[in-house]
Structure 1
Amino acid sequence: MTARTTAPPELEVRDVTVRFAGLTALDEVSFTVAPGSVHAIIGPNGAGKSTCFNVLSGLYRPATGTVRLGGTELTRLAPHRIAALGVARTFQNIVTTEGTVADNLMLGRHALTRAGFAASALRLPRAVREQREHLARAREIAELVGLQQHFDSPVALLSYGDRKRVEFARALCLEPSVLLLDEPVAGMNGAERARTAEVVRTVRDRLGLSVVLVEHDMGLVMRLADEVTVLDFGRVIAHGTPDRVRQDPEVLRAYLGTETPQEDVA
C-alpha cells in the first residue's frame, strides 16, 4: 500500500469558543496537530472533547475562533466539504450499514467517484474500470486494518471489535490527510484494544497521515500519542508530551482531585 508522498497539512485550532444556550462548552480552545503526528484530546466527562470533534468535522460551528487545515479555513464549511478536503471521522457509536464489509468500505469511496450516475447506471467502461479500482483500494485498506478475511462477510456477523474496525476502514477509504478517531477502543476487551492500537500505529506510519483521537483509555493514549491536549470544563488546562502531561498538577487535579503525581493518572 502506497503512503502519501508529501506530509499532511497542519491542523490548527485557534481560540475556538462554542456556546449552547448560554453554556460555554469550549472556551478559547487552541492547539495544533503537527503533520504526521498522533494527537490525543483527553479530559474528564463533560470536558468538551466531543464538542471539539464536532467542530473539527463541521457538525458544530463555533461562536468565535478558527480551524485551519494547511491554508484552508474549515470553520464555516459543511461536513461533506471538510471531508472532501481530507478530514475523515469515526464516531463513538458503531455506524455500519447492512451488507458486507466491502459494501461499507465502498460507501467510503463514494465521495471519490468521478464517473457520473448515468455512466455508472449504464455500466460504461470507464465507470466499470473506476469501480474495479475503488474495490481494489478498499480491499487494500481492509487488509491494512486486519479485516481482509472478512471482506465479503456480512457486517452483522462480525465481532464488536471488528465492526469498530469497519468504521475505521471506511473512514480511511476517504483517503484522508487527517483522521479523527472518537473513542476507537470504547467497549473493547483488552486484546481488541491492543490490536486496535497497533492498527492505528500502522495506519499512521504506512499512510503518512495525522491522527487526532479522543479516548478514555489513558494507557492507550500514553502509548500512542505524540502530543496530548487536556480539556477541563471546556478549557485547555495542559498540553505537551504524554510524560509531561501526566505530571501536570492541573491534570492531576482534574482527574484525581489531588496535586500528588500518580503513576496511572494518564
Structure 2
Amino acid sequence: MTATNATGTGIPPLHVRDLTVRFAGLTALDAISLTVAPGTVHAVIGPNGAGKSTCFNVLSGVYRATAGTVHLGDQELTGLPPHRIAGLGVARIFQNLALPPRTTVADSLLLGRHRLTRAGFLAAGLRLPAAVREEHRHRERVREIAEFVGIADQLSTPTGALPYGQQKLAELARALCMEPRVLLLDEPVAGMTADERRRTAAVVAGVRDSLGISIVLVEHDMGVVMRLADEVTVLDFGRRIAGGPPDRVQNDPAVIQAYLGAPAEGSAPAKSSVPAKGSAPAEGEARA
C-alpha cells in the first residue's frame, strides 16, 4: 500500500468548514473549521468536554451536523450514514475495544476487507473459484498489514487472548485493512503502558510516513500528540481556540489557559507542561 488508495487515486484533503452541532439547545461544536492535509497527522485536542468526540462522531457519520460541511476532496460527507462514509475511505478506531474476543486475529482483520469484497454470498458459500481466489488475495493482504503493525505472529490467536496493547494494534490493523484514505484514531494509546505507547506511536508514524494515509488523532497523551502531529487544532467548550504546528500551539496563551487555568493576578504566567515535539513523555505527564 502506497500513498494512494486501492484504486490508485491520490488521497485528497479533508475539509471541515463551520461545523456546528447542537443538542436540545446545547452547542457542542460552534462553527469549527480545520483542514487535514494529505498524508499528515492532524491532532484535535482540548480539555474534557471540549467537543473532540462530537467532532469525530460527525466525521464518521455517527452524529449529524446542525450546520457546516465536511468534504473529502470534492466528495461531501456531511449527512452521509457511517457505512457510506466508510465506503469512501474513512476508517475509524474507537477508544474502547470492539474486537470479537473468540475470533482469531486473522479473521478479525478480514472483517476490514468487507467493503472491498466483490464475491456475493452465494459464490462464497459455494466456494466458486473466483470467490476462493478473492479470499486468498484478501488473506494475503491481511498478513501484510499484520506484519506492518507487528502482530503477524498472532494471526491464529483469538483476539481476546492478546495483551491489551496488541488488541489495540489489532484494531488499528483492521482499520488499515479497509485501505482507507483517512484514518480517525480516537485515543489509540489510552490505557497503555509506556512501552506500549511508544510502540503504537511508532506504528502510527509509519502509517503516515510509509503509507501516506491522512490521520485525524484525538489523544489525551500530550507527549504522543506533540511527537506525532504535523498540525494541531485545539478545542475548548466546543470552539476552536488555536491551531497550527505543535511548537506554536503548545505556547499559545489561550491553550495554556484552557489546560491550566488563568494565572492569579500579579503572579507569573503559567507555563505549559506540554512537552516539545520529539521529547519523551514523562510518567504521569499532564493529560487533556
Which residue does the alignment assign to 1:240? 244
**What letter matches 2:226 in structure 1?**
M
Give CA-to-partner distance per residue, 1:56-109, whole Å, 9 cap, x none. Answer: 000001000000000000001110000010100000100001311001100000
Give CA-to-partner distance per residue, 1:86-134, whole Å, 9 cap, x none. Answer: 1000001000013110011000001110011111011000000000000
Q: Is residue 265 of structure 1 aligned with residue 274 of structure 2?
A: yes
Match of 1:164 among 157, 161, 168: 168
Which residue does the alignment assign to 1:201? 205
Give CA-to-partner distance per residue, 1:114-165, whole Å, 9 cap, x none. Answer: 0111110110000000000000001111111111111111111100000011
**Within 1, Cα distance between the matches of 2:29 and 2:149?**
33
**Within 2, Cα distance between the matches of 1:206 and 1:136?**
19
**Within 2, Cα distance between the matches of 1:237 and 1:3?**
31
**What letter matches 1:257 in structure 2?**
G
How far does residue 217 in structure 1 lie from its aligned partner after superposition?
0.2
Matches within 5 A, 1:1-266: 2-4=2-4, 7-97=10-100, 98-258=102-262, 260=269, 262-265=271-274
Equivalent residues of 1:252, 1:265 under 8 A apart:
no
How far does residue 263 in structure 1 lie from its aligned partner after superposition?
4.6
User: How many pairs align?
Assistant: 266
**What letter matches 2:271 in structure 1?**
Q
How far does residue 206 in structure 1 lie from its aligned partner after superposition?
1.6
**What letter matches 2:201 in structure 1?**
A
Q: Secondary structure at the match of 2:98?
A: coil
How far does residue 204 in structure 1 lie from its aligned partner after superposition?
1.2
Q: Secondary structure at the match of 1:254?
A: helix
**Within 2, Cα distance between the matches of 1:7 and 1:265?**
34
**Within 1, Cα distance between the matches of 2:75 and 2:170?**
29
How far does residue 46 in structure 1 lie from its aligned partner after superposition?
0.2
**What letter matches 1:32 in structure 2?**
T
Equivalent residues of 2:3, 2:10 under 8 A apart:
no
Q: Secondary structure at the match of 2:19?
A: strand
**Within 1, Cα distance between the matches of 2:135 and 2:32?**
42
Give the % identical residues. 67
**Within 1, Cα distance between the matches of 2:85 and 2:45?**
23
**What letter matches 1:52 in structure 2?**
C
Q: Which one is further off, 250-259 or 171-180?
A: 250-259
**What letter matches 1:177 in structure 2?**
R
Equivalent residues of 2:65, 2:78 under 8 A apart:
yes
Q: Secondary structure at the match of 1:191?
A: helix
Equivalent residues of 1:255, 1:265 under 8 A apart:
no
Q: Secondary structure at the match of 1:132?
A: helix
**Within 2, Cα distance between the matches of 1:243 and 1:6?**
33
Give CA-to-partner distance per residue, 1:168-204, whole Å, 9 cap, x none. Answer: 1111110000000000000001000000000001111
Which residue does the alignment assign to 2:284? none
How far does residue 6 in structure 1 lie from its aligned partner after superposition?
5.3
Q: Secondary structure at the match of 1:75?
A: coil
**Within 2, Cα distance between the matches of 1:189 and 1:84?**
34
The runs of at least 4 aligned residues of structure 1 exceeding 3 Å deviation read none
TM-score using structure 1 length: 0.97
**What letter matches 2:36 in structure 1?**
V
Gapped runs of 5+ residues in structure 2? 264-268, 276-288
**Within 2, Cα distance between the matches of 1:264 and 1:47?**
19
TM-score using structure 2 length: 0.90
